[in-house]
Structure 1
Amino acid sequence: MIQTYAHQKLLHETRLDLKTLETMFTNLITFGTNCSPFESEVIVEKAKEVFAIGDHAEGNILQPGQMIWTALDMNEPPGKPLHACKLRRIILAHIKPKEDAEVRRQYNRSAKRQQQINRMAVEAQEQQALLSQEDLAEILDTDVRTIRRDIQDLRKQGISVPTRGQQKDIGPGVTHRVQAITLFLEEKEPVEIARIIKHSLTAVERYIDTFCRVVYCQRRFRNNLKTALVVGVSVHTVNTYLGLHTDACEDPTYRERIAEIEARGRVYYKHVDFKKKHGPNSGRKI
C-alpha cells in the first residue's frame, strides 16, 4: 500500500499524541502517588499491556512462540456444564526455542514435552485459568494418554502440574520454578539444578534472576503489587517467592545465599534504573 504524504503526516501526529498522553499519564502517577519516574513508567507500560494499546495493541502483543488460548476460569467448580463455565483468554508460551531445544538435546523429546506442559499449565494458572489435559493434548498435538503419563512422571519428580483435574483433586503443588529456587537456596548451582529437575539451564537461571529481583524490590517497596509490576511477574509469583525467602531467612544455614540473592537483585535494579535515567532518550523532550 502506497502511503500519501497526508497519511504519513497523520500517522506522525498520532504517534506524537500517544507520546504526549503517555508522558501526561506518567507525570500524573509520579506526582499523584509519589512514585519514582521509573515506577511510573512501569505502571504506564503495564496499563498499555492490559488495555492492549500502543506497542501492546492486538497483533503486536504476542512474542515468538506464544499463542492465545481459551481456558476455563480457575474458580469454576468441577461438574459444571462447559457451556455455562466462565472462560478466560490467556497467552501461553507454546514454544521457547532455546530452552526447549536445550532440554531435547540433553535429555529427550519426552522431557521437552514435560517442560512445555508444566510451563503452560503454570502460565495459565497465573492468568487465573486452568488448562485441561485435553487442552494440553490439542496444543502439543498428542493424545490425552500421553499427557496423563507425562503428568504422572512429573509428579514422581515432585512436580505437581496445575491442570484442571489435578488442581481440583489435589490442590496446589510444587512447580518447576519452586523446586529450582528451593535447590538454589540449598546452595545448589544452576547447572546442578537443571540436571536434577531435568530442566533447561536457561530457564533455571531465569527463575533465579527473577527470584532475586523480587526479593530486592520487595525490600525496597514493601508492596507486593508494586514489586510484581516492576519485576514483570504476577502477584501470585511474588507471593510464592517471598514465602520461600521468608522460610529461608529463618534458617541460619542460608545466610550467605540470602546475602547473595539481595546483592544480585540490587545489581539488576540499579542497572535497569540507570538505563531508564541515562538511556538514549534521556534529556529529550517528548
Structure 2
Amino acid sequence: MMRPSQETQGRGSSYPSMVDKTFKNAVMELIQSQYGSLGGGNRLSDMLASDVSKLADQFFLSKDFIRTGQLVLTVVCASERPRVGKRMANTKLKPITVNLFTDKEIHDWISGMGTQELRKKRMARILKEAYDQGVVMNLGDLSLIHLCTPLTAGRYVHSVENETNTVLPYRGTIHDMGRGATHKTQIVELYLRGIATTDIKRMTTHSLEACDNYIRGYRRVALLHQRFRVEEIPFLSGMSPSLVNEYIKLGEKYNWKTG
C-alpha cells in the first residue's frame, strides 16, 4: 500500500484538474455560460455535454484529430520486416496517436505511486497502444517520449516483462531486433511450463507461427546437445551462441523437457 509522503500529499492539490481538462467539460462550460444550462441545471448540462462528446468521437476519426494529452508519432509498421542494410527510407511507416497520460495514471500519481513504477506502467501501455494501431515502437521512440536514454527505457521495459511474465510488443521482440534471445526464451519457458501456444500467443503478442518457430528451435538445440559439444551447436543449429546458451540453461532447468 502506498503511503502519502509530504511530496505526494502536495500532488493532490496540483494534478486533479488535469483529469478535468476535457472536451466534454469545455462543452459543458459553453452550455452553462451561453445558454444558462437550458433551465435544467448541471445534470442536463452534463448529459448534453456527454452526448456531444460521443458524437464528436464518431465523426472526427481523422488521424489529424488528436485529443488533449495525445501525441502524434510516426512509427514502423508491424508488418515491416527488417533486414541487414535496410534503411528507414525504405521502411514502411505509419502515423499514430498515443496517450501521454491517462486518468488512471494521474490518479495513481496523486495517490503516491513512485516515479519509476508509474513510468514502467506508462511505457508498457504506450507500447501496447502503438501495437494495437499496427506499428511497433523501438526503445529510442520510448526514450524520447520519456526524456531518458534508450538503455533506461530498456531497463523499464524488461522489468515489466520480468514482473508480469509477459513479452511487450516493441521492435526488439516483434522484429527480432536487439535482445532477441530474451523474448524467445520467455516464450519457450512458458511452453515448458505447460501453457498452450494459443495462450502464449495472447500473452506475448506474437503469432502462433513465431511461437512454434522458437519452440522448434529449442527442440533442435535439445537434440544437438545430446550428440555434440556446446561450442558446435551454434553452427549446426544456425542460431547465435547467446541464444543457444539461453536454450541450454532452459534445458537444464527443466531437465531437457521438450513438450
Same fold, TM exceeding 0.5? no
User: What's the TM-score once normalised by structure 1's chain length?
Assistant: 0.39
Structure of greater Rg:
2
Structure 2 length-normalised TM: 0.43
